[in-house]
Chain A
Amino acid sequence: MNRMQQSVESAQAIAASDALAIERTLAGERDAFRVLVERHSHNVFRLAYRMTGNQHDAEEVVQEAFLRAYQKLGQFASRANFGTWVYRIAANYAIDRMRQRQKEEARRQTPSVEDQDGMENDPMNRVADEAPTPERLTQSIELRKLMEQALAALSHAERTAFVMRHWEGCGIEEIAVVLKSNSGAAKNTVFRAVQKLRLALQPFVGIRVQTRAMGTES
């Protein structure tokens, strides 16, 4: 039996087991839902963390996603794909959470002189201001900070689309459902996200690659 066949069979077994747990939960066995929570929590956490960028919000997203899934379980038609369904609920809630967080932060911050000029709001300016020297860039911690800033500068839709497509391997149709748009628009959102990340990070990644290449040559 080859590896692909094994993984297909294991996915089928999980789907069948999920369907059974859903049936039992709907029949009134609350503890049957536990199986679903324990099985899918890690995946949902990974998605939530990449979307929100912090552990506290990610954990809240996970809890809320499963609570909502439990409440709406009766409406869940395609019972073989619980993982995808709860994933979608989590992505939707993560977008709401990011918007809420943004509003809270906007309320907390008083506008500065730069804000009025619109300079401070441009994430590219922020990156340039804090741009470290090439020597410091070799430290991965600096690059990590830049990457986190570049991801934070994406719009909620762009970040969601990028996380779902690039890291989670979701299909464009699935991303379109979460973004409440069509597949063409979802595809464009993924493209815009990669383009912005590239614009923000390529100079620093380039230096890194170049440095590495030079090291190999010598």
Chain B
Amino acid sequence: MKHMTEEELIAYREGEASQRTTIAEHLAVCQECRVELERIDAVLAALDTLPVPDPGADYGRRVWQQIAPRLPEKRERWWQVLFQPRRLAVMGAVVVLIVAAFLAGRITKRGGIEDNIATKEQVRERVLIVAVGEHLGHSERMLVELSNAEPNDPAQKQVNISAEQRRAEDLLQENRLYRQTALQEGDAGLANVLDELERVLLDVAHSPEEVTPKQLEAIRQKIEARGILFKVRVVGKELQQRQEATQPAPDQKDSAKKERNKV
């Protein structure tokens, strides 16, 4: 008699076997396979005794209380989100930078310099790189200051982080815009780091204005646990390199100028 394999018995026990009737018929007549199945049953039954702690009847309410401050006040349609005053200000700044870069390109072109004319895409990418680089620099400074925050008076039991909190709120708006742009541009790595930064900024923005040293330590630990400062620095450095790569090195520029002067 051909016995059932362990895989077939496990699949039968877990309700996944395709030939359930055949296996059941075999088990009815084969004691060896029945014993084997009982052994599998015994292990699984023992595992079923592992307890899961009861989080309490009000657990759902507690979860809501913990996540509610981290949810945006109102889910808005994309056009409402797009036309928020803060976003408009950031978008305005980006547009001004793009126009300035475009005009600068036109002027230099009129001047007769043919070399190194950036395409529109390159200009746009450069502007984004510069803007995100600056944003990461600001975020890094804010997080470092927050990590080093101490009470003004050692006798005070509370630390005032309202300045950092307001900066985090502003940075949060910018961060969302840059993250979405990075996603649209297909830059998943940058979008991921901005996503992680967004969570930290959210935490800071939703912290109380005055925190106890213990609460501050918890915020610091969160920043540390995510390794966000390190990631921000790495990405900032990478953006700087990309920025340098999209424009000629100064010495090259100078030598090109010298060559042109000689002529």
A binding-site residues for B, Cβ under 8 Å? 25-28, 30, 33-34, 37-42, 45-46, 49-50, 55, 59, 62-63, 66-67, 70, 73-74, 140, 143-144, 147-148, 151, 165-167, 172, 187, 190-191, 194-195, 197-198, 201-202, 205-206, 208-209
Contacts and interface: CB of A to CB of B under 8 A. Distances in A.
A191 B60 contact: no
B89 interface: no
A147 B50 CA distance: 8
A146 to B, nearest CB: 9
Given A33-B71, A187-B16, A191-B7, A202 B39 contact: yes
Contacts of A28: 74-76
B25 to A, nearest CB: 22
B60 A147 contact: no
Given A28-B75, A205-B43, A148 B50 contact: yes
Contacts of A34: 64, 68
Interface in B35-70: 39-40, 42-44, 46-50, 52-53, 55, 59-61, 63-64, 66-68, 70
B203 to A, nearest CB: 12
Interface of B: 6-7, 10-11, 13-14, 16, 39-40, 42-44, 46-50, 52-53, 55, 59-61, 63-64, 66-68, 70-76
Given A190-B14, A205-B46, 13 more contacts: A27-B75, A41-B59, A42-B60, A46-B52, A49-B52, A147-B50, A165-B16, A166-B47, A167-B48, A172-B16, A191-B11, A198-B40, A202-B42
Contacts of A172: 16
A165 B11 CA distance: 11
B63 A63 contact: yes
7 contacts: A30-B68, A37-B60, A49-B52, A143-B46, A172-B16, A194-B14, A194-B40
A165 B43 CA distance: 15
